[in-house]
Structure 1
Amino acid sequence: MAKISVWTVACLAGLMLLLIIIVAVFDWNRLRPWVAEKASEAVQRPVSIEGDLGVDWQWRSGALPWPHITVRNIVAGHPEGYASVQDGDMARIDYLALDINPIPLFSRHVEIPRLEIGDSRIALQRNAQGDNNWAYERKKAREDEEPGWTVDLQSIALRRVEVQMTDEARKLDMLTRFNSLDTGARDGYGMDWESSGTFNDAEITGGGKVGGLLSLREGGTPFPLQGEVSFGETRVAIEGSMTAPRGLASLDVGLKLAGSSLSDLNALFGLALPTTPSYSTEGRLLAMLDGDEDIWRYEDFKGVVGKSDLRGTLEYRVREPRPLLSGELASDLLRFRDLGPLIGVDSSGEGKGESKKKPDDDGRSQPADKALPVARIGSETWDMMDADVRFEGKRIVRDENLPLDDIQAHVLLKDSVLSFEPLNFGVAGGTLSNTIKVDGQGDVLHADMAMAARGLQLKQLFPGAESMNASFGQLHGDAKLRGSGDSIASLLGSSDGELSLALSRGTISRFLMEAAGLNVANVVFVKLFGDEQVMLECMVADFAVKDGLMRTRAFVLETEDAVVTMEGSVSLKNETLDLDIRPQNKTLRIFTLRSPLYAKGSFKNPDVGVQAVPVAARAGAAVVLGVVATPLAALVPLLNVGTDDENECSALRGDKKTGGGGDGAKAANERPAGTKKANRSPATVHEDPIPH
């Protein structure tokens, strides 16, 4: 038995020695055609070996030596039927080496502890038709087919490996060089990279580090990545990690982006951003990418464009039927000079009152005889996504003389319906509170707006007024309008609702009217009061709006010496006026007012003059105040907002002694009840004794 065991061991050792000798002296180049054929079948493209194929034995561990295989000058062509965009092969590998553990071979398993590739060039291409040369069709095994060989590749080392990426469809031509780092490198990085080329005709350079290639297979292990890319004057830097990269399950990187203008991004990403001042942004970019509802989140970012700043968190969620953009933003300063081009606002005439008449996207130009904007409001893109974004800002500047402050906005876009609930801000020392809803689902827009203005200081509202040595009042107002159309002009021209305005005690003048751009009011003021400054006790106006026609429910302007009432209508649809203006003296101390006036014509070309037929029996100011006192009493809160001063407006202090009735009283009966009247008696008034 002992002799048999000795002979058995001796035979096995002899066979092993013979095998080693055969392997050592065998000309492995004879197997190059067979190896190339099997490789071609595996990668589904022609493969040839133009250099030497060699096998050496190396003792690593265990009782058996390990074969060390080296291959020189491997050439792989493009797939059959692919139209290459450049001359040359798909891959040329100058050097390839691998070790194989011999023991698992007996169980049809190939264990490769290390694969090294050096001095190689790989060409990845996609032509203009969208066909690429890297596509690989996985063959499904038949149920009755025996299990094939399995491969376990444990590490890869790259030495001077170049990858040329050419994409005709996306105008990409990029060369990237890879080199493996030492195995002892920290932070999990496995290789570095360096790139140069063009994308959309923009020159790009960059470099960085990424994790080891094989860590891509390990779904639970973060795959680190770090890099900086430059194109023109734009710089992009990222540093972070990916998890489960094969399915791109998650991304967590710090992102920095900076450049001289946002328009420089157009060539890179195919956008249509306008020219802006220099910008920069820094934040944390997170992504959950499962293929169905991908989520991108730019978290805690801080950005600057020119002197404007923006910070917050934005999230973009891919979903059906539309993606959703949500987030919360804040800013200390936003300047239209910096950001105006991004939102389609011309800021070239900032602070100068300039207005450029440019056609809209439909070629619709502003007519010379129209004051209200006719430019089309496009809503075609509103159905591309939904939005839910909140914004808080300390200051927004378009006109340096009239900045907005304490801005609060909640922007909602859902199923082509855009709303601001609310849109509140401070301006001219007062506040504007708004809710706006615009339905863009149909061919025309349907808009609803509610606005409340409180405490707007005239001295701040109109440029140049602060230079006047005078005391100015405050403007208050309420508006509720609903209309349909595709422009500001058509929306107002079809609107229904109501509009109320009140102006508290202060000085008014021709200069103030000109500064406000109120052409009609300016002409009327000159005819009533000349060029002098006049102390205004109050002005209160109340309009009902139906199908774009504003009808006066009540209107009174009262100075220290006179009361002016107005009746008639203003057509927002036709931009025409039809107003009857009646002045009355309160005293005989200063001057005597002229006959009643009319205001007709258009907004652009108003016609203001003295009525042709004087009124024979003119009502006194006391009667006028009595008529309008009841409807105007409902507007008392507009004048009393934010002040404890007694109201000096006689029209709002009228009692039953002033009389009243007619259309003004009738209009008042249509308003909600419960408004309190002032207890003071009306001021002393006198009829104008001198007819004109």
Structure 2
Amino acid sequence: MSVRRVLGRSLAVLLLLFAALAIGLSSFDWNRLKPILNDKVSVALDRPFAIHGNLAVVWRRTPELGGWHALLPWPLLVAEDLRLGNPPWAKGQQFVSLKRVELRLALLPLLWRQLSILHIQLSEPHAHFERLADGRNNWTFDRGKQTPDAEPSPWTLDIGVIGFDRGIIRVDDRGLQSELELRVDPLGKPIPFSQIVGAKAAERASAAGAAAQDYAFAWQVKGYYRGQALSGNGKVGGLLALQDASQPFPVQAKVQIGSTQIGLAGILRDPQNLGALDLRLQLSGRSLAQLYPLTGVTLPDTPAFATDGQLSAQLREAGGARFRYRQFNGTIGGSDIHGDLTYVAGQPRPKLSGTLSSNQLRFADLAPLIGADSPAEQQARGVVSQQPADKVLPVEQFRTERWRAMDADVSFSGKRIVHGEQLPLDDLFSHIVLADGQLRLQPLRFAMAGGKLEANLQFNGGVTPLQGKAQVQARNLRLKQLFPTFEAMRTSLGALHGDAELSGTGNSVAALLGSANGGAKLLINDGAISRDLMEIVGLNVGNYVVGQLFGDKPVRINCAAADLGWHNGVLNPRLAVFDTENAIVHIGGTANFKNEKLDLSIHPQSKGVRIISLRSPLYVRGTFKQPQAGVQALPLLARGAGLLALGAVVAPAAGLLALVAPSGGEAPNECTPLLQRLQAPAPAPRAPR
């Protein structure tokens, strides 16, 4: 007998067996198995399960499968009116109910004990997901009643595609304070994927894998999420390809949660494992800080915002789900914002990293980077400011609990920062690092008035009270640009230089400054001073002092120099002097930032001709909110004489010389002669004649 004949007979036998199996499967009354199936499934899931309708197997060709699968008929298991119950603690009796289920089986895998379901079609699914505050939920099945030493089943389950039609899904999650109802209905006519997301996005999805299917169903949702009202609608595809991770599932949504609006359109890849997202995401709302209850991402309080970018996500990463918001553009108040951000939901804390930039940033739109509420956020939360009426320094507490909820590593650059029309800031750069409750801005740098200001700020919110450190350096801030509306400064060639280093503890600006230690050095070269200037810088008490010293007209300043000591919140000038065309004026005393009290004395030394307004020392007392100034009585003149002993200012004057920058061909720095003169030893007393 030839090999061809043997193969032919063997194939004929297989076909006969296949036909006999098909006849047997289609003619058998499968309803007889319902009691057994109901009992087995109920025991396995520890839930009441029942098929109340017809149970049958039919053979049908499936052209939509394509290839050779479409040429052969396949067994189709049909069950009607299925119901799966809830655990005893749940509200309702039913967890899931289905009007009809169709399972398309592959026969050959049965030989190696694999239940391969090519396609599942669910008709009118209704599901009610419920979770209690203690964490119990009705979608996790209790398998505890099974025998602990029972051997695992040799059978495996493989599901290809899930299809569905209209249905209702309810979610009651008391742990998240959320209750939602989602309704799904078929569209009258499918909508092409490219019509929703655009041609470029459709091409990008096709290049990354198989082309996305059309939108087939519309959905609506309403309820509340994390205590905030929620409503929305959108569209999805009709088939979830569970085994083919490259087959994308289209999604589209427009949702409003509280005052935040979310719009997205794109694809979900590998839906069985929630593998990846690739969506165009649009966000808008009243403040970025209001995203915290929704996302857990710590963001500063801001004015109204809107952004539009591409969101991609890898949801099954070993280190935690990774979200990336790429090439987004947006606005915050009247400022523009652009960048790339990555959020990793890792342990022990999630982390936000990336780069941000702005072409024009309004200073009024900058939110508190360290978590203190702005007036807008206070109003939104219904909080009344607790700032005392007699205090100037802010007492609002920093919200450091949010610092410990997330880490961050973000770089920000701004080409132009608008702080009013008279003093623009340029080239802002800051590297913001938040780690385990410790916030660092290293550096915070920007250009201003022809010069540069650079600061390193550190705040440790992981301890109570908060610990803060600040190092600030200002160089070559041109006076005529600092005060462009002050006529007397327009011809000035002078500049401001300064260094400061402070540290303190406390959960507010007032507490930090009230406990501060450190110091500051300041030099102002070739400027001018008047009452008008005091009004510009907001120093009201200066109006009186300047008027008493120089009258109403601007006075040229050759140099102003200060070396300020700061101990336990008390500011004590080691050296504070300014040299004018008519006099040298020394300032002494204290400014107490703990109780906001002033006790300063101003001692003028007239050059040559005595001026009436320079006859007596002045004092400034009272509080920061209500300072009081006047002329010291004659007995206090002796106190001023001690201040003017040049030997006491030799070391501070020498330290300030380091701030005198080289001239570089510019006009000479007028502070050099003054500081050198202050270092000179006091003249020896004359011998009596």
Q: TM-score, length-normalised on structure 1?
A: 0.76
**Offset, 1:467:** 9.7
- CA-to-aligned-CA distance 1:646-674 (integer Å, 9 cap, x gap): 23458527569975379xxxxxxxxxxxx
* Equivalences for residues 508-587 of structure 1 within 5 A: 508-587=529-608
Matched, 1:192 2:219: no
Change (3 A) 1:283 1:401: farther
How many correspondences in the alignment?
637
Change (3 A) 1:537 1:188: closer
User: In structure 1, what residue type is equivalent to 2:682?
Assistant: G
Following the alignment from structure 2 to structure 1, what is the Cα–Cα distance between the partners of residues 304 and 26?
A: 70
Question: Partner residue of 2:445?
Answer: 424
**Offset, 1:221:** 3.5
Following the alignment from structure 1 to structure 2, what is the Cα–Cα distance between the partners of residues 409 and 196?
A: 43
* Equivalences for residues 344-359 of structure 1 within 5 A: 344=372, 346=374
Change (3 A) 1:640 1:168: closer
Quick check: 2:617–2:640 contact (8 Å CA) kept in 1? Answer: no
Quick check: 2:302–2:333 contact (8 Å CA) kept in 1? Answer: no
SS of 2:394 mapped into structure 1: coil
**Offset, 1:236:** 1.4
Quick check: 1:32–1:49 contact (8 Å CA) kept in 2? Answer: yes
Question: Partner residue of 1:216?
Answer: 242
- CA-to-aligned-CA distance 1:47-102 (integer Å, 9 cap, x gap): 44444444556689999986554444x130413424234xx744443334445566
Question: Partner residue of 2:426?
Answer: 405
Moved more, 648-657 or 281-290: 648-657
Following the alignment from structure 1 to structure 2, what is the Cα–Cα distance between the partners of residues 634 and 253?
A: 59
User: In structure 1, what residue type is equivalent to 2:517?
Assistant: D
Moved more, 37-46 or 515-524: 37-46
Question: Partner residue of 2:499?
Answer: 478
Change (3 A) 1:568 1:222: same
* Equivalences for residues 169-318 of structure 1 within 5 A: 169=174, 170-177=177-184, 187-189=211-213, 192-200=216-224, 202-210=229-237, 212-213=239-240, 215-218=241-244, 221=246, 223-231=248-256, 234-243=261-270, 245-248=271-274, 250-259=275-284, 261-262=286-287, 276-290=303-317, 292-318=319-345
2:361 paired residue among 323, 334, 347: 334
* Equivalences for residues 602-613 of structure 1 within 5 A: 602-603=623-624, 604-613=626-635
SS of 1:635 mapped into structure 2: helix
Quick check: 2:217–2:238 contact (8 Å CA) kept in 1? Answer: no
Question: Partner residue of 1:685?
Answer: none
- CA-to-aligned-CA distance 1:384-407 (integer Å, 9 cap, x gap): 333222211123345454443211
Moved more, 638-647 or 173-182: 173-182
- CA-to-aligned-CA distance 1:393-437 (integer Å, 9 cap, x gap): 123345454443211111222333322211112234432211122
Question: Partner residue of 2:524?
Answer: 503
User: In structure 1, what residue type is equivalent to 2:630?
Assistant: V
**Offset, 1:472:** 8.0
Following the alignment from structure 2 to structure 1, what is the Cα–Cα distance between the partners of residues 502 and 382?
A: 25
Following the alignment from structure 2 to structure 1, what is the Cα–Cα distance between the partners of residues 97 and 347?
A: 45
Following the alignment from structure 1 to structure 2, what is the Cα–Cα distance between the partners of residues 94 and 69?
A: 14
Change (3 A) 1:479 1:154: closer
* Equivalences for residues 27-38 of structure 1 within 5 A: 29=31, 31-38=33-40
Q: Which has the larger radius of gyration?
A: 1
2:48 paired residue among 35, 46, 49: 46
Following the alignment from structure 2 to structure 1, what is the Cα–Cα distance between the partners of residues 622 and 532?
A: 23
SS of 2:548 mapped into structure 1: helix
- CA-to-aligned-CA distance 1:465-501 (integer Å, 9 cap, x gap): 3698775843322112222333333333333322222
1:79 paired residue among 77, 81, 86: 86
Question: Partner residue of 2:140?
Answer: 135
- CA-to-aligned-CA distance 1:111-130 (integer Å, 9 cap, x gap): 55544443x23223215455
User: In structure 1, what residue type is equivalent to 2:222?
Assistant: T
Question: Partner residue of 1:680?
Answer: none
**Offset, 1:455:** 2.9
Question: Partner residue of 1:123?
Answer: 127
Change (3 A) 1:29 1:394: same
1:456 paired residue among 477, 481, 492: 477
Following the alignment from structure 1 to structure 2, what is the Cα–Cα distance between the partners of residues 362 and 432?
A: 34
- CA-to-aligned-CA distance 1:151-178 (integer Å, 9 cap, x gap): 55555443x2414222242433232427
Following the alignment from structure 1 to structure 2, what is the Cα–Cα distance between the partners of residues 329 and 276?
A: 17
Change (3 A) 1:322 1:653: closer
1:433 paired residue among 424, 441, 454: 454
**Offset, 1:645:** 0.6
Question: Partner residue of 1:684?
Answer: none
Gaps of 5+ in 1: 1-8, 350-355, 663-692
User: In structure 1, what residue type is equivalent to 2:243?
Assistant: R
TM-align CA RMSD: 4.9
User: In structure 1, what residue type is equivalent to 2:250?
Assistant: L
**Offset, 1:564:** 1.8
**Offset, 1:147:** 5.3
Quick check: 1:540–1:635 contact (8 Å CA) kept in 2? Answer: yes
Following the alignment from structure 2 to structure 1, what is the Cα–Cα distance between the partners of residues 352 and 544?
A: 50
Following the alignment from structure 1 to structure 2, what is the Cα–Cα distance between the partners of residues 267 and 323?
A: 15
Quick check: 2:343–2:353 contact (8 Å CA) kept in 1? Answer: yes
User: In structure 1, what residue type is equivalent to 2:138?
Assistant: N
Following the alignment from structure 2 to structure 1, what is the Cα–Cα distance between the partners of residues 582 and 15?
A: 129
1:446 paired residue among 446, 467, 471: 467
Quick check: 1:277–1:338 contact (8 Å CA) kept in 2? Answer: no
Following the alignment from structure 2 to structure 1, what is the Cα–Cα distance between the partners of residues 352 and 635?
A: 64
Question: Partner residue of 1:674?
Answer: none
User: In structure 1, what residue type is equivalent to 2:634?
Assistant: A
Quick check: 1:224–1:242 contact (8 Å CA) kept in 2? Answer: yes
Moved more, 338-347 or 357-366: 357-366
**Offset, 1:540:** 1.4
The percent of aligned pairs where both chains have the same amino acid is: 33
Following the alignment from structure 1 to structure 2, what is the Cα–Cα distance between the partners of residues 64 and 613?
A: 115
Following the alignment from structure 1 to structure 2, what is the Cα–Cα distance between the partners of residues 17 and 486?
A: 81
Matched, 1:162 2:167: yes
Quick check: 2:650–2:679 contact (8 Å CA) kept in 1? Answer: no
Following the alignment from structure 2 to structure 1, what is the Cα–Cα distance between the partners of residues 502 and 508?
A: 15
Quick check: 1:504–1:639 contact (8 Å CA) kept in 2? Answer: no
Following the alignment from structure 2 to structure 1, what is the Cα–Cα distance between the partners of residues 639 and 212?
A: 98
User: In structure 1, what residue type is equivalent to 2:85?
Assistant: H
Quick check: 1:460–1:466 contact (8 Å CA) kept in 2? Answer: no
User: In structure 2, what residue type is equivalent to 1:315?
Assistant: T
**Offset, 1:510:** 1.0
Quick check: 1:492–1:573 contact (8 Å CA) kept in 2? Answer: yes
Following the alignment from structure 1 to structure 2, what is the Cα–Cα distance between the partners of residues 142 and 635?
A: 80
Following the alignment from structure 2 to structure 1, what is the Cα–Cα distance between the partners of residues 637 and 12?
A: 140
**Offset, 1:274:** 6.4
Quick check: 1:261–1:278 contact (8 Å CA) kept in 2? Answer: yes
1:594 paired residue among 615, 620, 643: 615
Gaps of 5+ in 2: 1-10, 63-67, 194-209, 685-689
Question: Partner residue of 1:647?
Answer: 669
SS of 1:217 mapped into structure 2: coil
**Offset, 1:358:** 14
**Offset, 1:505:** 1.4
Quick check: 2:302–2:367 contact (8 Å CA) kept in 1? Answer: no
Following the alignment from structure 2 to structure 1, what is the Cα–Cα distance between the partners of residues 12 and 357?
A: 84
